Structure 1
Amino acid sequence: MQNKLIFKLILFIVFFSYYNGISQALTSSNLPIVIISTEVDPITNQNTEIIDEFRVTANMKIIKRPDGTTNYLTDSNITPYLNYDGKIDIEIRGSSSQGLPKKPYGFSTLLEDNSNNNVSLLDMPKENDWVLNSLAYDPSLIRDYLSYNLSRQMGNYAPRTAYCEVIINNKYQGLYLLQEKIKADSNRVNILKMTTTDNTLPNISGGYITKADKTTGDDPVAWTMPSYSWPPNFIHDLPNPAEVTTQQNDYIKGQFFSLASTSKANNSSFSNGYPSFIDVPSFIDFMISNELASNPDGYQFSTYFHKERNGKLRAGPIWDFNLTYGNDLFDSGYDRSKTDVWQFSDGENDGAKFWTDLYNNATFKCYLSRRWNQLLESGQPLNYAILVQFIDKTVNIISEALVRENEKWGRIPDHSIEISNLKAFLSTRISWMTNRLGSFSNCNSIVTPSLVINKINYNPLKSTDFPESNDLEFIEIKNTGTTTINLTGYYFKELGLTYIFPPNSTISSNKSIYLASNSTVFKEKYGITAFGQFTRNLSNSSQKLVLVDGFGNVIDYVEYFDKSPWPDADGSGNYLQLINTTLDNSLASSWVAANNETLLNTSFIDNEDVSIYPNPTSHIVTIRSKNQISKINVFDVLGSIILSANSNSYSFSIDFSSYSKGIYFVTILDEFGLRTKKIVKQ
């Protein structure tokens, strides 16, 4: 009798647990545990059901021990182990995936007054809009995770992701990806947000987020574009479709149709061809991501574009890669993700004509092949050995949760076979693409001009006369070569600062130009006319400045920081000054902090004002200036400072006898600015 009671009790516990969705024995996990409890309906006294198109309020807790050890369900009331504990609103999201038993969700983190709560979830940058990706239709459970991570490793923004296990209203829901929603944000798609008043240039030029996609929901089709198969629908994401003005719609539509006409005409001119409208590297990387994965929905659906104010149209971020790498809606009779087709021209979801037209342009295809082959090199993200290593690491991360996921939903017949098939697909696909893309010899040895980013004023010191620090920012670019350089189509590639050199603009040999954040203020303060005015402002902490030509060939690259070992130019009244243009300006040691009160373009400085003798030297060097010297710095060829001294005279002597033989640089600061001289130690 006692045994029967025990058996019935066990059956009851099992049935009760299964009914409530916790039969998978989720008591602990190596992954974060997300617990969502919707508000209780006062009439039914039950948790409110999560539906589509109407968000319900809920509380969410994310259990994640800071030291990375196992997370326990019993940690849900231990504050140090909670990555988040607060209010959200949540809805079902997605298109066809809504019809599956396992639902995807979109949610926003909220404050108690229902305003947005920008927070960091699972080490991702602060925001309030998030997605719980249900990994729909993907028996490997890693396709989105793999694709987004590869895109970021290639240098692009793609949604950050973190695996987690989810419980909603006490029912276990399985393995999910908590990921960022695509939106304009400095840590996501780094573009300006437009308003309904931005209807004339330059404001009307950006920022935009536009997508080719299905017409689910209430968002209207903005326009369609010609295609070699089915015309794709284009939909506004930013500005909001309900708020976009006629002028804004016409402007961004015009950018797409200009791309279509110039690519069809095979026009690769920097001044009026497709490179003048688009950021070529982003289109190349977008194609590589979609083609490596053989994404049958790519180009036609879930295909995002974005454009910054005064900037170029860019492809991406990538989104929705569950039907990829040989996977498709097999139960519905589809089998389109093949190793031996181009998805932009397979006669089905080809997207707009410009994708195929770009591929058929010899120059674009050359750069596409070059980039593809670079990414396949040893240590690069698309190298097959690196891909396999990443896949194996990912499988290991989810292996524990995989068992519970399959017990809950029963949709993975044999996960090891799924992973083996994915690896085999990648191997075959890489070979096929490499053979079809062919040679890139015509664009493999591009000689870039001798342009150097020589000064950066990223956080100027404001004053009574100039109270806005942002208005005083500037960048100096110097032509260190012997010939005049045509700057047509050159631009800064990284989002955050925008400037495109106009057609037929030039810079003479051994001359410098300034780009300013506010040309009028720059002229008032420094008495120098800026060559141009950039859009947005330099970061006060860190920023990448990547100067490229119209096809993305890097001319110069600097990523500065406001922390050591970089010189102090962060609101101190100084700017960053390259010690010598022969040094590697990507190294902090190659820069000094120069005075912000006097700014003279080095091309205007008479270097004859300063004499150094004897040079070469083996012992004492004397530096003499027509102007009173205030400071002397001496650097070796690596940019390391070996002497720094203040002065209050017109001459200064340095003993080089203890220094090793080689080349040194000395910077001399006086009332007219900073200049650099080379000294040879014999």
Structure 2
Amino acid sequence: MIITLILIALGFGSVFANSNSADHWETVVYSSDVWKYRPGNSSPDADWNQLYYDDTSWMEGRGGIGYGDGDDNTIIEQTISLFLRIKFNIVDTSLIESALLHADYDDAFVAYINGVEVARAGISGNPPEYNKFADSEHEAKMYGGGAPEEFEIKKEILKNILIPGENLLAVQVHNASAASTDLSSNFFLSFGIGDSSRSYRSTPEWFDEPFEFSSSDLSIIVIDTEGGTIVHEPKIMAKMGIIYNCPGNRNNITDPFNEYDGWIGIEYRGNASFRISDKKPYTIETRKEDGSNRNVELLGLPKENDFVLRAVYIDKTLMRDALAYYMYRSMGKWAPRTRHVELVLNGEYQGVYVLEEKIKPDKNRLDIAKMDSADTSGEALTGGYIWCVNRRWGDEEHNDLLFDSTEADGNPRFLKYPQPDEVMPQQLEYIRNLEQEFCDVMAGPNYNVPFIGYDKYIEVSSFIDEIIIQELTGNSDAYSYSSYFYKDRGKKICAGPIWDFDQALCNSTHHNGDRYDEWRIKIPDGARPQFWDKLFGDKEIQKQLKNKWTEYRQESLKTERIIAFIDSVANYLQEAQEHNFKKWPILGVSIWRSLPGAEERDTYHKEVDFMKEWLINRLEWMDVQLYQTTDVENLSTGKITEFKLYPNYPNPFNPSTVIKYQVPKYEKVTLKIYNTLGQEITTLVDGLKAPGIYEEKFDGNNLPSGIYFYRLQTESGYSDTRKFLLLK
């Protein structure tokens, strides 16, 4: 979906001005007001959106007007489009400082004030014809507890279109298809008033005064497309400036561009991440004015020209990518380096983004051979290549298909380097045949025979590292989506580098994303290349996996080290996250693939703590499975050396959950449940226990939703308490 807003263009390098100086805000149009409306069964008159137009023949009803989602005060028949009009009065135009149009729509709209377009989302055409479909599907949010989207209308525009007395708001709404089962049209118009006078109505309960971005303790990236429209491909030319005044100094939007001031190419990127939100991810390429590449250092990242701006929308900690890459680098591997920034695009604040290095062959990135058109035979033909496993999304013009064969199991493979418009036929044939040969061997009976099995084709240690990082993070996309491989010249296939962890670390309903006590690689998934299953089940791989895990847990992946990194990033983002969630008010809101309990996690730090708690549980569980110590060996044989209370599962739960604990010697123990006031709810265990591991089921069927605690105590003084969430 392409979103175009009517904005006053900034001269590049000019002062960024905040025009909003409102004393307070009032609302002049509510969605539930009485509107004039006309289903789009034919083209309306050309002047239908003008104030003087005679709409007496139009129907009348309370908004929202639509069908299918239960958010409609006036229900209409199924239609491709809907045209709306409502008049409102302005007492004094000189007191109007700015305006906000809030829109909750399905699937696209264009809004006008007195015939002038002021906001648009999800549709092209000037104006769109009555029978034009939306560019993509867009779901309304308010009926599910969300907030409408906000579109700013600046004072410079308002002063040219508002008049004293009667004015008109007109909106055309479009569906994504003729067969669509829903259409929503809820619109609100609010004004920022320049003095304390009150002439209109109070704002809705969900209304937040617009955030005025003026400075940050993060670097600020400012991009101006100079009227150009960003699309998926190709990149368009734009100008970019970066403000970075060194650590400890504030970065003001009015400061000069001192880190970068020049041209870029910019395009949308991503598949699901692009579709689910209006906070869009981008790929950028630093360029010279003639469009050629310009290698530069950005914010301490080594010289290159290809970068990614991650939107981190569904990741409410704003750090899952950065954390996964940090842990992978701690294991001695290359992963994209990251910088948190705040982004302003075409004069509009966009929130916190993560500037990341793009995966590509480079001495400062993935250090493998760079291929050219002459590398078509001998050892030169053997590398370097980068490809990934991913799914087809239906609009494959921007995807670079390498394998489209049923013989290559799992999701298709997409060639990244050499780039598809540069790869030679001999190169494509070589790497396609090599990967297919590996898949064929893994599908056969001799897949683990030395010298002819998997170790002939792959660098085993890299595949083990891939398993460790994907399993440690519980990545819901593991092995099947954005799963990279590379092959250097004269060397074997390697797994990696890693990429895309916004659905990892307990952040997705997909593939049991909340489970810390199961292997992701064992979840049935036809999208995953099946060689992963055989590798994970191989005895030699298991042995090396346990050895590597034990090594990493001694230093690289120590719990204290990981938690310290998380805390440092959360502290670093303390101010910027407030800016971000004022722009995108999704804390405490269930969004795409949110896990149960999202409504309870209504602050940034609750989201961070939620991730930390899951990660600690995950580390403990993986230790039991993999850690090569005497204690773990004793645990498997029943020779337990310490008391321990484990995390319950599932958590959150409804209505029952299982609590596990271990006892190293004969001792009287108690296991009790408490509410948040410290009041005892019930006793699950009270008596003598022999050495062993025990599980107790707790049923909260008769309790209200909320946070509870369970406490294990022993006669010898051991005590431990954990919390869990009952969510009905």
Matches within 5 A, 1:213-232: 213-216=390-393, 217-218=396-397, 219-223=399-403, 231-232=410-411
Alignment of 1:130 onto 2:307: yes
1:269 CA displacement: 6.2
In structure 2, relative to structure 1, the CA distance for the partners of 1:137 and 1:191 (3 Å cut) is same
Counterparts of 1:36-55 in structure 2 under 5 Å?
Answer: 36-39=223-226, 47-55=227-235
Q: Which moved more, 1:277-286 or 1:179-188?
A: 277-286
Relative distance call for 1:6 and 1:198 in structure 2 (3 A) is: closer
- The CA deviation at 1:14 is 7.2
SS across alignment from 2:301: coil
Are 1:164 and 2:341 counterparts?
yes
1:195 paired residue number: 372
**2:507 is equivalent to residue 321 of structure 1:** no
Matched residue of 1:19: which SS? strand
Q: What is the distance in 2 between the residues matched to 1:399 and 1:250?
A: 50
1:301–1:67 CA distance, 2 compared to 1 (3 A): closer
Q: Separation in 2 of the partners of 1:89 and 1:49?
A: 12
Corresponding residue of 1:565: none
- Shift, 1:191, TM fit: 1.4
> Aligned runs of 1:24-423 on 2, under 5 Å?
24-39=211-226, 47-76=227-256, 82-99=258-275, 100-216=277-393, 217-218=396-397, 219-223=399-403, 231-263=410-442, 265=445, 271-328=451-508, 330=509, 335-348=512-525, 351-377=528-554, 380-413=555-588, 414=602, 415-423=604-612
Alignment-mate amino acid for residue 561 of structure 2: I
SS at 1:395 equivalent: helix
With over 3 angstroms needed to count, the CA separation of the structure-2 counterparts of 1:283 and 1:226, relative to structure 1, is farther
- Residues 225 and 376 of structure 1, relative CA distance in 2, 3 Å threshold: farther
Alignment-mate amino acid for residue 610 of structure 2: N
| Contact residue 14 and residue 23 of structure 1 kept, 8 A | no
Per-residue deviation, 1:160: 0.9
Q: Report deviation, 1:51.
A: 2.0
Q: Distance in 2 between matches of 1:232 and 1:360?
A: 21
Higher helix share: 1
Larger mean Cα displacement after TM superposition, 333-342 or 114-123:
333-342
Q: Deviation of residue 200 (structure 1)?
A: 1.7
CA contact (8 A) 1:343 1:349 kept: no
Return 365-374 or 246-255, whichever deviates more: 246-255
Q: Is the 8 A contact 2:459 2:494 kept in 1?
A: yes
1:19 aligns with 2:152: yes
| AA aligned opposite 1:150 | M
The letter of the residue matching 1:410 is P
- 1:501 is matched with none
Letter aligned with residue 244 of structure 1: V
Residue identity matched to 1:340: D
TM-score w.r.t. structure 2 length? 0.54
2:211 is matched by which residue type in structure 1?
Answer: Q
Cα 1:28–1:249 change in 2 (3 A) is same
Where do residues 444-593 of structure 1 align in structure 2 (5 Å cutoff)?
none
C-alpha distance 270-403 of structure 1, shift in aligned 2 (>3 A): same
1:174-215 Cα distance to aligned partner (Å, 9 max, x none): 000011111111111111222344222211111100111122
Structure 2 unaligned spans of 5+? 1-20, 25-91, 102-149, 155-208, 589-601, 631-728
Question: 1 CA distance for matches of 2:533 and 2:438?
Answer: 12
Kept in 1: contact 2:550–2:626 (CA 8 A) = no
List per-residue Cα deviations over 1:298-351 (Å, max 9, x = no partner): 1111011111111121111111100011111x5xx8743521222222002662
AA in 1 matched with 2:152: Y
1:136-180 deviations in Å (ceiling 9; x for gaps):
321221111111111112111111110000000110000000111
**Cα deviations across residues 508-544 of structure 1 (Å, max 9, x unaligned)?**
xxxxxxxxxxxxxxxxxxxxxxxxxxxxxxxxxxxxx
With over 3 angstroms needed to count, the CA separation of the structure-2 counterparts of 1:310 and 1:435, relative to structure 1, is same
Say if 1:252 and 1:436 are closer, same or farther in 2 by CA, change over 3 A: same
> 1 CA distance for matches of 2:222 and 2:390?
32
Cα distance in 2 for partners of 1:227, 1:362 equals 26
Which residue number in structure 1 is paired with residue 64 of structure 2? none
Is the CA contact (8 Å cut-off) linking 2:283 and 2:309 kept in structure 1? yes
15-24 vs 185-194, greater mean Cα deviation: 15-24
**By how many angstroms is 1:438 displaced?**
5.9
Distance 1:6 1:303 in 2: 51
Report the Cα offset of residue 258 of structure 1: 4.2
Q: Is the 8 A contact 1:138 1:322 kept in 2?
A: yes
Assess, with a 3 A threshold, how the Cα gap between structure 1 residues 36 and 201 changes in structure 2: closer, same or farther. Answer: same
Aligned partners of 1:417 and 1:93: how far apart in 2?
Answer: 29
In 1, are the aligned partners of 2:476 and 2:503 still within 8 Å (CA)? yes
Provide Cα deviations, 1:533-564, integer angstroms capped at 9, x if missing partner.
Answer: xxxxxxxxxxxxxxxxxxxxxxxxxxxxxxxx
Is the Cα–Cα contact under 8 Å of residues 476 and 511 in structure 2 kept in the other structure?
A: no
Give identity over the alignment, percent: 34
Indicate the SS of the match to 1:150.
helix
Provide the rounded CA distance (Å) in 2 between the counterparts of 1:427 and 1:165: 30
Tell me the CA shift for residue 389 of structure 1.
0.9
Is the 2:237–2:291 Cα contact (8 Å) retained in structure 1?
A: no
TM-superposed deviation, 1:231 = 2.0
| Alpha-carbon RMSD | 2.9
CA distance in 1, matches of 2:364, 2:535: 30
Moved more, 415-424 or 84-93: 415-424
Q: State the SS of the aligned residue for 2:296.
A: coil
Structure 1, unaligned stretches of length 5 or more?
A: 40-46, 442-682
Taking a change above 3 Å as real, the CA distance of residues 284 and 13 of structure 1, as seen in their structure-2 partners, is same
Output the CA distance in 1 between the equivalents of 2:615 and 2:574.
21
| Structure 2 CA distance for partners of 1:198 and 1:227, relative to 1, 3 Å | closer
- 8 Å contact 2:549–2:627 — kept in the other structure? no
Task: Tell me the distance in 2 between the aligned counterparts of 1:182 and 1:252.
Answer: 18
Matched AA of 2:218 = L
SS in 2 for 1:255: helix
CA contact (8 A) 2:99 2:153 kept: no
Kept after mapping to 2: 8 A contact 1:267/1:273: yes
Q: What amino acid does structure 1 have at the position aligned with 2:622?
A: M
2:638 paired residue number? none
**Residues 439 and 381 of structure 1, relative CA distance in 2, 3 Å threshold:** closer
Indicate conservation of the 8 Å contact 1:20/1:172, yes or no.
Answer: no
8 Å contact from structure 1 (residues 227, 352) kept in 2:
no
1:202 alignment partner, SS class: helix
